Homo-oligomer: A and B are copies of this chain.
């Protein structure tokens, strides 16, 4: 029995999220069906974490156990031939039996993309969040600094499942702008439910002047979700990379490609 890890990209607008659920096509189910079509085996695919409906991935990681003589390289092609067009397996690697996509992960990187034009974008509308209200990029950059470091992120999370602690470490948060496209890349040890989207919503409120860009630290310290901005829509969010202690075959390749 081989333990195989894969790196997966998908267009979130084509699926009802990552996790399998009765009656709705999920990415997990699409991959499990592709594996069954190729190997004849019904397997469970374990993702590094769930993504909601509409959320994209450039480098989601998952693993599964399967018994097949097909090489990694040919398995990639065979699985892709059975996946719907909104999903693709970028890499396949047979790995240590102890590797688990979720439990072995030590961090994650996400991207959030905002289009700030007065008219509705026509190209790739589902690939970014569009807001016509003018955003002050400098204010957003100032606000972004408050999230870096170790904080209790209760103010930036939907309640979701109970957990031991809401303390997480954000390694970096980089904001970029090009023309009317704004994006930020955030990397951390882990993220609470809806945390990146709430940070995105809070940054946009700072960009509109509705929240004080200098006051984000105080919002974090208040541990009160009601003080932060709204949860930004899923279409702007991309899971870019999952971090592990060990080296992956695809390390060094950019998640975008």
> B-contacting residues of A (Cβ < 8 Å)?
9-11, 14, 56, 58, 76, 80, 85-90, 117, 119-125, 127, 179-180, 254, 256-257
Q: How far is the CB of A100 from chain B (nearest CB, A)?
A: 25
A257 to B119 CA separation, bound complex (whole angstroms) = 9
Contact for A86 among B85, B117, B122, B179, CB less than 8 A? B122
Residues of chain B within 8 A (CB-CB) of A85 are 120, 122, 125
- Residues on the B chain within 8 Å of A125, using CB: 85
Q: List 29 A-B contacts (CB under 8 A).
A: A9-B122, A9-B123, A10-B122, A11-B122, A11-B123, A14-B122, A56-B123, A58-B123, A76-B119, A80-B119, A80-B120, A85-B120, A85-B122, A85-B125, A86-B122, A87-B122, A88-B119, A88-B120, A88-B121, A88-B122, A89-B119, A90-B119, A117-B257, A123-B124, A124-B124, A179-B254, A179-B256, A179-B257, A180-B257
**Which residues of B sit under 8 angstroms from A10, Cβ to Cβ?**
122
Tell me the complex Cα distance, A14–B122, Å.
Answer: 10
Q: What's the nearest-Cβ distance from chain B to residue A56, in Å?
A: 7
Of all A-B residue pairs in the complex, the 7 with the closest CB atoms, nearest first, are: A179-B257, A180-B257, A88-B119, A11-B122, A88-B122, A124-B124, A9-B122
Instruction: Give CA–CA (A67, B86) in the complex, Å.
Output: 46
Complex Cα spacing A197 to B89, Å? 30
| Whole-angstrom CA separation of A179 from B80 in the bound complex | 21
Alpha-carbon distance A119/B85, docked complex (angstroms): 11
Contacts of A86 in B (CB 8 A): 122
Residue of B at shortest CB range from A86?
B122
Closest residue of B by beta carbon distance from A256:
B179
Interface centre among A10, A88, A89 (most CB of B within 10 A): A88
A137 to chain B, nearest CB (A): 14
How far does the Cβ of A118 sit from chain B's closest Cβ, in whole Å? 9
Enumerate chain B residues within 8 angstroms of A80, measured Cβ to Cβ: 119-120
A164 CB to nearest B CB, Å: 35
A130–B49 alpha-carbon span in the complex (Å): 29
The answer for the CA separation of A89 and B122 in the assembled complex, in Å, is 10
